[in-house]
A = this chain, B = another copy of it.
Amino acid sequence: MSPAPAHRDDEAAFLAAYDPRDFPAIALTVDIVVLTLREGRLNVLLVERAGQPFQGQWALPGGFVKAGQEGLDEAAARELAEETGLSAGALRRVHLEQLGSYGEPARDPRMHVVSVAYLAFAPDLPDPRAGGDAARAAWTPVVGPHGGGTGGRNSTERGSADRELAFDHGRILADGLERARAKLEYTPLAAAFLEPEFTIPELRAVYEEIWGQKLHPGNFHRKVLSAPGFVESTGETAERGGSRGGPRARLYRAGDARLLHPALLRPDAEEPDAR
């Protein structure tokens, strides 16, 4: 149940007498894992902290929820707009969903700060601008099951940025990456990383980068076209063929499905206890 000192007045009188300051303070922030693809590589938006604590370290963009003024989703959308400098129209192309909440008492040395984390998928965005209490903001390549490899499962498991992050943002980022990998399996959200019109090989490149492994072009093509509502044809074809040759691919738009049936399964999922 929610807050309720057991007063017995009628509701109006109760509310008039109510003093929020009676409650011990917990601060509430939203932090956002914004993922995008830049030149085919997965990047996450990070900001350099201008103030204490963790001054000079990199962290996820985010900020306080404005008490009494905005909901969690609104706060996340506002922070996202502020940090990326995007217009409301451009923001509509970004997928934003709640990732989870993090509330260890010691995660922030100042006081008990609970953070509601969000996950965003964006098409290639312009360079961010620093603002607020951020010294700098920058797109940062994500390492992990990624890198240059053909997709082995070695190196840093789970995935992370190539900098040590402030607070518990390293864990939040890892959780966001795992969520992103899972979401590609059963939703058509991979298209959120691309322009409104895209080719199937471009879509395949999104999967390959985020899953960290090559996919069979023919089978991927077949699955995408057979999943109802995943993509719809525009009838057009791309201006040019691939950078290294090959015919021009057909162009598609995202379909109206929200879930994929059947799902596109990763060649070999995780299982913490595989073997």
Q: Which residues of A contact B (CB under 8 A)?
A: 1-11, 14-15, 18, 20-21, 23-29, 31, 47, 49-53, 55, 59-72, 75, 98, 100-105, 108-116, 133-134, 166-167, 229, 256-259, 261-262, 265, 269-273
Q: Which residues of B contact A112 (CB under 8 A)?
A: 67-68
B98 near A52 with CB under 8 A, answer no
A6, B133: Cβ atoms closer than 8 Å: yes
Determine whether the beta carbon of B116 is less than 8 Å from that of A167.
no
- Whether B26 contacts A26 by the Cβ 8 Å rule is yes
Contact B5 A133 (CB under 8 A): yes
Q: Is the interface of A mostly helix, strand, loop or mixed?
A: loop
Number of this chain's copies in the complex: 2
Kindly identify which residue among B24, B26, B75, B273 contacts A258, using a CB–CB cutoff of 8 Å: B273
Tell whether, in the assembled complex, residue A65 and residue B114 are in contact, meaning their CB atoms are under 8 Å apart: yes
Tell me whether A1 and B47 are in contact (CB under 8 A).
yes
Pick the 7 closest A-B CB pairs, nearest first: A24-B67, A72-B103, A6-B51, A20-B111, A14-B52, A4-B51, A71-B104
Q: Which residues of B contact A47 (CB under 8 A)?
A: 1
A111 x B269 contact (CB < 8 A):
no
A6-B133, A21-B21, A259-B269 given. 16 additional CB < 8 A pairs? A1-B61, A1-B63, A3-B113, A4-B49, A4-B51, A4-B52, A9-B52, A23-B25, A69-B105, A72-B104, A98-B100, A98-B101, A257-B271, A258-B271, A261-B269, A262-B265
Closest to A109 in B: B15
B257 touches A1 (CB 8 A): no
If A64-B23, A261-B271 touch, does A5 touch B103 (CB 8 Å cutoff)? no
Do B53 and A14 have beta carbons less than 8 Å apart? yes
Given contacts A2-B62, A108-B2, contact A114 B72 (CB under 8 A): yes
Task: Name the CB-closest residue of B to A110.
Answer: B18
Asked, given contacts A14-B52, A52-B11, A68-B24, whether A31 binds B1 with beta carbons under 8 Å apart, the answer is: yes
**Given A1-B166, A105-B71, A111-B68; A20-B11 close (CB under 8 Å):** no
Contact B51 A5 (CB under 8 A): yes
Minimum CB–CB distance for A94 against chain B, Å: 19
In the bound complex, do residue A59 and residue B3 qualify as a contact, i.e. CB atoms below 8 Å apart?
A: no
Bound together, the chains give a CA A62 to CA B59 distance in angstroms of 32
CA distance A5 to B68 in the complex (A): 20
